Amino acid sequence: MNSAAAPAPAQATAAPEQDENKLIAERREKLKGLRAAQAAGEGVAFPNDFKPKDRAAQIHQAHGATEKAAFEADLAAGKKVEVSIAGRMMLKRVMGKASFATLQDATGRIQAYITKEDVGEAVYDAFKHWDLGDIVGVEGYLFRTGKGELSVHATTLRLLTKSLRPLPDKFHGMQDQELKYRQRYVDLIMDEAARDRFAARSRTLAAMRHFMTDNAFMEVETPMLHPIPGGANAKPFVTHHNALDQQMFLRIAPELYLKRLIVGGFERVFEINRSFRNEGISVRHNPEFTMMEFYAAYWNYQDLMTYTEDLLRATAMQAAGTLQLTYQGREVDLSHPFQRLTIREAIDAHTDIGTQVDDKAELIQRLKKLGMSEDKDKLSQRSLPSLQVMYFEEAVESQLWAPTFIMEHPTEISPLARANDARPEVTERFELYITGREMANGFSELNDAEDQAARFQAQASAKDSGDDEAMFYDADFVRALEYGMPPTGGCGVGIDRFMMLLTDSPSIRDVILFPALRHEA
């Protein structure tokens, strides 16, 4: 390659950035002019006294069926449908003495018709220099254009906020997916689907709250800073509290505090909580995520499965309007009863292992074929139930597309769950899978203080042996159990993954407003 030609790609890449910098500089000059006018006593650069009385969606809903002739007849009779709106200018067409601008507020878009005669020559001339992205206030009356579009005939027009950065191309929007996550504010401006996705999330949380309170659950708040991390096997984020001069941990789960409340006499509690785990990032994992955990005295894991199924079904209907969903091109029907299988039954149904599911050597060989290793995963040191769970996770989990409860997890990996009376090697625990992903985890709670102390001790020993996800020994929680906790069932539902399903989103980052990202270079 000719070395003299080498700089060309760099120059070509830099051109769009140079163009954007030029546009930003031009907009800053316009703002400079607004500030100078304010200094001279002519207006305010960033006024805050405009109060819109109407919203775009409400206007369309109330007057979308009104025909052009009806507006004209009212106008001739001296009656006007007056409105006052504010929004971001997304489109603009300047045509001599009359122009059009499309404003976007939180509910949608509406067109404004602006004439020099109605708003005055000075305002109209200023409007011609306003930019897309500027936030504008309009007062006027409704009419239909010659093409039949419902519009606001402006009588007052004001610039409320000067936008200093140009919006992305109106036809293509933001194409870089990471940029959408990093600059969510721009994504929301440009993409109606993104706004709808997060509106659906708000509806989902509201529906969940209503369902819980309608079933006599009390919403509570528990600490996000813990002196001892607990409630899940996960690596915590660590910080230091200066005033207390002690190490603290960001919550990995609210479980142990919620169960303290059951001890205290609140028989049904729930919390929609932010939890934090210092682990990997993937399309299913974000270090900061939202769960809803709930606990009910005198329930067991069978009660929980029935209730969780009802909860998700009712919430989906409220948020999505249907139980027949589509996720990544495949149907998911929440209307049918969710299947219930033990781990061994699921392995038998979805693999060809047969009776060898109880053969430790066979499981180890199959796990190695699936990419696991002795050095990393310590396969030979694991018990048969632990290997069965690993095999289930590697070979079966992704196949569970239809809603399926997987039950009876080994006691050794379920340190907070009640053991089955008939088979103490497994617990009364379930995990709910939909689209091959875990959506919920629940169990009959362990309320035997001495058993809990022994299991905490086993976890502490595992931590001493190098397992950084093992739990700490929580002496205060054991003390709480010693006062007596009634038989209790508890469950955690992953809100983010459920929203991926309800909004057909391929990545957890699509349903979290501000997901975790590396610092910008």
Question: What letter does residue 492 receive in the DSSP assignment?
Answer: E
Give the number of other CB atoms < 10 A from CB of residue 370.
Answer: 12
**Whole-angstrom Cα distance, residue 308 to residue 432?**
9
Question: Which string of b and e fits 9-25 if b means at least 16 CB within 10 Å?
Answer: eeeeeeeeeeeeeeeee
CA distances from 445 to 6, 248, 424 (A): 67, 26, 14
Look at residues 101, 103, 139 and name the one whose alpha carbon lies nearest to residue 119: 139
Radius of gyration of the chain from Cα atoms? 30
160 contacts 135 by C-beta, under 8 angstroms: yes
**Residue 438 marked as a ligand binder:** yes
Dihedral, CA of residue 435, residue 398, residue 396 and residue 498, to nearest 10: -40
Look at residues 396, 491, 407, 409 and name the one whose alpha carbon lies nearest to residue 437: 396
Look at residues 166, 139, 163 and name the one whose alpha carbon lies nearest to residue 152: 139
* 3-state SS, residue 113: strand
254 contacts 293 by C-beta, under 8 angstroms: yes
**Whole-angstrom Cα distance, residue 403 to residue 423?**
26
**Whole-angstrom Cα distance, residue 50 to residue 86?**
8
**Whole-angstrom Cα distance, residue 307 to residue 145?**
53
Partner residues linked to 275 by β-bridges: 289
* 3-state SS, residue 288: strand
Helices (H), 96-228: 116-119, 121-127, 177-182, 184-190, 192-214
**Residues annotated in a binding site:** 431, 438
**Residues annotated in a binding site for Mg(2+):** 431, 438
